[in-house]
Structure 1
Amino acid sequence: MPATRPVAVLGECVADAFVAPAHDDAPGLRLDVLPGGGPANTAVALARLATPTHFIGRLSTDVFGRLFRSHLAASGVNLDSCTDATEPSTLAVAGLAPDGSADYSFHAEGTADWQWTADELAAAELVDAACLHTGSLALVRGPGASAVEELLCAVRPYSTISIDPNVRPHLVDPAVYRTRLPRWCALADILRMSDDDLSELHPGVAPEAACDTWHEAGATLVVVTRGADGVLVSYAGERLHVPSPPVDVVDTVGAGDAFTAGLLHRLHAAGLLGGRLDGLSWRQIEDAVAFGTEIAAATCAVRGANPPRVNSSAPACP
């Protein structure tokens, strides 16, 4: 497929408010607000890798929505398919543990990201994307989740479908994800899971056994990201372990989103997106996954979801 067709990313923008000590020992807390949200992070990382990227989101007209627009546009993301929304933006307050992991509390009731209608999403079909990536809360929060699933069905005949459930158990009961996951697998050419997702969706189940379940439901290429322990790849009945590069972790915010961007970027650069991914070689898969781990590691080395701007001139594996 021609590499000139863009990658489209659908989902939420979230204002990530990081807790910091107040100045001069004043009472209370100080919040440093950065643009985030899993799908938005992936779109930014893709565009910074020079992949033509369209973001499909409902962007509030409030102060955070203006922040999102500026951030996405500055990274080179095409916003033509976004909807101007009157509802407020979603806010997540993140506290960081000593190991750099983040613990979130969400303020997401009635916010802009979840109010999709079929008419609003109709514009997304005009993008003619080689790949549509979505996931996170966009696939489970009503009333828009059903409309998003309908869009995936509509574009699947000509677009590769990539899904990252990105389970948020404090905001949505994991049982909701479990109920919908077989439908997502039936649509997904690429399914990305983290160790945390796996523990929520299939507690006590070995990653390899979980991969078999997802393949049986229809997913073609499954990648399970395991932080410093690398990535488990499952495809066509075979497994591969790809190690993670060493990194001095500042925090892990946006690392999984950056990994997905790196993976999709390499597949796109090799002209492999646009279909069902049923003819990949292991060399192509390993190349794309390894590049994803490099982008994730670079994101872990800085504060917040701030993926690198990388010279993408090096060719992907043919």
Structure 2
Amino acid sequence: MTPPRITVLGECVADAFAEPAHARNELALRVLPGGGPANTAVSLARSGTPTRFLTRLSGDVFGRLFRAHLEASGVDLSYAVEAAEPSTLAVAELDAQGRATFSFHAQATADWQWTSAELAGVDLSDTACVHTGSLALVKEPGAAAVEDFLAAAAPGATISIDPNVRPLLVHPEVYRARLAHWCGLADVLRLSEDDLGFLLPGTHPEQACDTWHAAGARLVVITRGADGALASLDGERVRVPAVSTPVVDTVGAGDSFTAGLLHHLGTHRLLGGRLTDVRLGDVEAACRFATTVAALTCSVAGPNPPWEGRTAPSATTADA
């Protein structure tokens, strides 16, 4: 049975990775299509979930790369805006563990220019879940239009938010100032351990979950890299170990986890409302599937999530 449709809203970013140059005093870059919401949309579509992506695509060389990548992955771009502005570029440096540090080139780029008119005509009648986050929720001038769109969508769809804090582009205080409002809109809040450190410095994960539950989020999932994930459903907790895998890099792993979580919930017909039928066992099963998707993404270079059929549950897991 086909899972229900999920609509993702947010940015596409050109992820540029340094490679060996052919001459001294040169820097060679390999560019891959990325961006948190785009990665999530691709991972959802490749998993078999009908996925619509609301994004603003430039007509430049990077925008054409994004469009080809998204369409090849099966993502519905019928509501994508053809933007006049240039694409966003992120240059990634990888450490010895494959973790990426990004520098952004994002001044006046296409991703943040949403208007209410561009979102007003979007038909969500067949959408069970709307997922967004990252810079779409904090970068002006579009952030207010995106928040209004989520508020209008909430009565008919499960709302999922991933803050994906990018302190080089937006000061964490901007995220902190809006987070309680987002929790009031969101049914699912998925964030990383790094995000937690930016949003509630020095706060224990369980305490953070309770804070965000009190603000309105029913399901909070904190991903912790090699330590797996902590999920909290209205204060009931479960920890899920990571899946062991050789790590090439971790780019897109959190986005793939989010996609796996939502895909699994959708497959079991648990999306489409306020998660009233979801139980802790459902959350645990969805997180276990999500860790498999994330591990497979880590096993290849760049944000390249697996296709349907490669995400069978693994018997090998690790707590390390």
TM class, shorter-length: over 0.9
In structure 2, relative to structure 1, the CA distance for the partners of 1:168 and 1:244 (3 Å cut) is same
Q: How does 1:233-248 map to 2 (within 5 A)?
A: 233-248=231-246
Is the Cα–Cα contact under 8 Å of residues 59 and 82 in structure 1 kept in the other structure? yes
Give me the whole-angstrom Cα distance separating, in 1, the residues matched to 2:220 and 2:74: 28
Q: Where in structure 2 are there 5+ consecutive unaligned residues? A: 314-320
Give me the whole-angstrom Cα distance separating, in 2, the residues matched to 1:96 and 1:154: 39
TM superposition shift of 1:250: 0.4
Describe the superposition over 1:161-191 as per-residue Cα deviations: whole angstroms up to 9, x where unpaired: 0000000011100000000000100011000
TM superposition shift of 1:278: 2.3
Residue 170 of structure 1, aligned match among 162, 168, 171:
168
Q: When the two structures are aligned, how many residues end up with a matched partner?
A: 313
Larger mean Cα displacement after TM superposition, 280-289 or 75-84: 280-289
Give the TM-score of the pair, scaled to structure 1: 0.96
TM superposition shift of 1:27: 1.8
Residue 182 of structure 2, aligned match among 159, 181, 184:
184
Is the Cα–Cα contact under 8 Å of residues 3 and 268 in structure 1 kept in the other structure? no
Is the Cα–Cα contact under 8 Å of residues 3 and 270 in structure 1 kept in the other structure? no
Which letter does structure 1 place at the counterpart of 2:90? Answer: A
Is the Cα–Cα contact under 8 Å of residues 50 and 312 in structure 1 kept in the other structure? no
TM superposition shift of 1:127: 5.5
In structure 2, relative to structure 1, the CA distance for the partners of 1:127 and 1:31 (3 Å cut) is farther
* Paired position in structure 1 for 2:132: 134
Which letter does structure 1 place at the counterpart of 2:15? Answer: D
* Paired position in structure 2 for 1:214: 212
Give me the whole-angstrom Cα distance separating, in 2, the residues matched to 1:314 and 1:198: 30
Give me the whole-angstrom Cα distance separating, in 1, the residues matched to 2:113 and 2:232: 34
* Paired position in structure 1 for 2:306: 308
SS in 2 for 1:98: coil
Which letter does structure 2 place at the counterpart of 1:78? Answer: D
Give me the whole-angstrom Cα distance separating, in 1, the residues matched to 2:268 and 2:4: 12
In structure 2, relative to structure 1, the CA distance for the partners of 1:153 and 1:312 (3 Å cut) is farther
Is the Cα–Cα contact under 8 Å of residues 5 and 126 in structure 2 kept in the other structure? yes
In structure 2, relative to structure 1, the CA distance for the partners of 1:313 and 1:35 (3 Å cut) is closer
The sequence identity of aligned pairs, in percent, is 63
Give me the whole-angstrom Cα distance separating, in 2, the residues matched to 1:195 and 1:312: 27
Give me the whole-angstrom Cα distance separating, in 2, the residues matched to 1:130 and 1:119: 22
Runs of 4+ aligned structure 1 residues displaced above 3 Å come to 2-5, 125-128, 312-315
TM superposition shift of 1:125: 3.5
Is the Cα–Cα contact under 8 Å of residues 3 and 48 in structure 2 kept in the other structure? no
Which letter does structure 2 place at the counterpart of 1:41? Answer: N
Give me the whole-angstrom Cα distance separating, in 2, the residues matched to 1:4 and 1:51: 5
Residue 99 of structure 1, aligned match among 97, 100, 114:
97
Give me the whole-angstrom Cα distance separating, in 1, the residues matched to 2:172 and 2:148: 22
* Paired position in structure 1 for 2:203: 205
Give me the whole-angstrom Cα distance separating, in 1, the residues matched to 2:308 and 2:121: 30
Is 1:196 the counterpart of 2:173? The answer is: no
* Paired position in structure 1 for 2:257: 259
Is the Cα–Cα contact under 8 Å of residues 39 and 257 in structure 1 kept in the other structure? yes
* Paired position in structure 2 for 1:21: 20
Q: Where in structure 1 are there 5+ consecutive unaligned residues? A: none
Residue 272 of structure 1, aligned match among 257, 270, 273:
270
* Paired position in structure 2 for 1:30: 28
TM superposition shift of 1:128: 3.2
Which letter does structure 1 place at the counterpart of 2:179? Answer: L
TM superposition shift of 1:312: 8.2
* Paired position in structure 1 for 2:316: none
